[in-house]
Structure 1
């Protein structure tokens, strides 16, 4: 039986990251806005109020979360490229999901997600091998390379989009 928390499986990083991995992850990041738009296309307000699993976020919260998280990811990557092993700021994503701006139309976050990904993809495609090895210090995860951040955000987008598409399939929407 599939674990609704991880419809595409938990995040796993290859032992050795190669150029093909990075190119694949960047292409997944580039395609994520289109896939997110397709995932929510035609959903009603009532359907967007549905949770993808017991105790999970509502679908509209998932959309807003993706915009929030990937804005933070973009800033983390830029920090890693411009500062030496800077310790990044974490945030309480559960509390962010409850803030008033999550009551805006999901279109606001779909647009934001698309814009962030356009800039992020452009930036990522320009990086050389040395830049991909630069690091940030995450207070909970330790040192993370830019290439690992690319892998994380590619997976993260697929992960949450799958929450939406899995529920749609399950409900026959």
Structure 2
């Protein structure tokens, strides 16, 4: 098997300024992300779910997406209701080492993503250009992040990790 690529879905290339057409495209990507992840993992055996993509198993990647996107909708809501709030960071590497991510059934994370993304899409579709300019601060990096950049980032994030799983499937002929 060849070396796993850094970004099998392509590099993160955000659209710098708000664009209504791009907003619609990005929201559609967020909307479709749970179904695309489900398609990527649903037929895999427990043994296949334990296959590593670099440092994380497919199982850990699936649970990570749910954990990460759960944090994201909360960050959006904080930024929409508070002035430049400092968000709560988390150590994703520690989270994927917890037993639910290491050995748990992926179905609860897939179900969580179904509901979470349906709710998140409602929030995103209702947002104005001005609201996409609202910001939060990350406590570790100190960076201020606007919600337009965050939307670009999380649309890419789901595709990025699902592409890792699809790359493994392709490499292993599953």
TM superposition score category, shorter chain reference = over 0.9
Task: Give the distance between the partners of 1:38 and 1:14, measured in 2 at CA.
Answer: 28
Per the alignment, residue 86 of structure 2 pairs with 87
TM-score (norm 1): 0.94
Per the alignment, residue 120 of structure 2 pairs with 120
Per the alignment, residue 29 of structure 2 pairs with 28
Deviation at 1:17, TM superposition (A): 3.2
- Compare 153-162 and 10-19 and name the one that shifted more: 10-19
Per the alignment, residue 148 of structure 1 pairs with 149
Equivalences, count: 171
Deviation at 1:21, TM superposition (A): 1.4
Per the alignment, residue 66 of structure 1 pairs with 65
Change (3 A) 1:15 1:146: closer
Instruction: Check whether the contact 1:80–1:134 (CA below 8 A) recurs between aligned residues.
Output: yes
Instruction: Check whether the contact 2:84–2:135 (CA below 8 A) recurs between aligned residues.
Output: yes
Q: Return structure 1 stretches of 4+ with deviation > 2 angstroms.
A: 14-17
Deviation at 1:141, TM superposition (A): 5.7
Instruction: Check whether the contact 1:4–1:52 (CA below 8 A) recurs between aligned residues.
Output: no
Change (3 A) 1:78 1:100: same
Per the alignment, residue 7 of structure 1 pairs with 8
Task: Give the distance between the partners of 1:159 and 1:138, measured in 2 at CA.
Answer: 22
Unpaired segments ≥5 residues, structure 1: none
Deviation at 1:71, TM superposition (A): 0.1
Task: Give the distance between the partners of 2:150 and 2:45, measured in 1 at CA.
Answer: 33
